[in-house]
Amino acid sequence: MKLDIQTLDAKKAGSIDLDDAIFGIKEIRADILQRMVKYQLAKRRAGTHKTQSRGEVSRSHSKLYKQKGTGQARHGAANAPIFRGGGHAHNRLPRDYTHELPKKVRAMALRHALSAKANAGDIVVIDALKLADAKTSALKQSLAKLNLDNALFIAGAEVDANVALAARNLPNIDVLPNAGLNVYDVLRAGKLVLTQDAVNAIHARFKNGDADAKAAPKKRAPAKKKTEASEQGAAA
């Protein structure tokens, strides 16, 4: 797949080839994308929620009134869950929401997310993302020339300081370095804007990953131990 490279002034600056194994997948696996999004959102959860149980509520544990003769229900303490200010019957406790997802599945999900954007024509490649001054108005003018109002920028190894300052006041505009590329942000953005350095980094990332997978030695099954009966049978 070949795309034109543009500048921030919406002028053509050449073209670039995108790897079809990364950006050219036609049959998008929605189930893989859904698993990856759930994995990312689960990792973001703090899990620090906590409510008090009946034993943790600081209220009197004495019997409220005598057992019989009042015409009311019989209660033994004011910290019971049925009372206002009492403890929770099944209180929430801190927990870890993260779960495992194989590395190959995570890599596949990123491939399919990038291919989904490419198939929809929502990928824009620019030569570089740099500004002379940290002015939001200047960046806004450049985005207007590129017809970008909802986009995720992958700026390269590092985000230019002026760009980071200028973009933080623009709604629906996110700027991340190469290391920040992730499935959730790619899917929720209207357009995916990649610099040349970002494209090269993505190609290198998946190329190295495939090389590591091929170079990894396969584990052999442990050899079965011979039993005495089998040894005697072989000797006979």
Same domain, 89 and 105: no
Same domain, 77 and 39: no
Same domain, 68 and 175: no
What phi, psi does 93 have (nearest 5°)? -125, 155
Asked whether residue 229 is domain-assigned, the answer is no
Asked whether residue 71 is domain-assigned, the answer is yes
Same domain, 7 and 35: yes
Same domain, 82 and 189: no
Asked whether residue 183 is domain-assigned, the answer is yes
Per-residue pLDDT of the chain (236 residues; tens, 9 = 90+): 888 899 998 888 889 999 999 999 999 999 999 999 999 999 999 999 999 999 999 988 888 889 999 999 999 899 999 999 999 999 999 999 999 999 999 999 999 999 999 999 999 999 999 998 899 999 999 999 999 999 999 998 999 999 999 999 899 999 999 999 999 999 999 999 999 999 999 999 998 766 555 555 555 656 555 555 555 555 54
The helix-helix angle for 103-119 and 196-215 (nearest 10°) equals: 140
Domain count, the chain: 2
| Amino acid symbol at 184 | Y
Asked whether residue 226 is domain-assigned, the answer is no
What phi, psi does 121 have (nearest 5°)? 70, 30
How far apart CA 108 and CA 98 sit, in angstroms, is 19
Which domain, by its residues, includes 140? Answer: 2-45+100-215
Q: Yes or no: say if 22 and 206 are a contact pair by the CB < 8 Å rule.
A: yes
Distances (CA, A) of 150 to 128, 178, 185: 19, 19, 12
Asked whether residue 225 is domain-assigned, the answer is no
Same domain, 164 and 136: yes
Same domain, 138 and 68: no
In degrees, to the nearest 5, what angle opens at C-alpha 126 toward C-alphas 184 and 137?
Answer: 85
Same domain, 189 and 203: yes
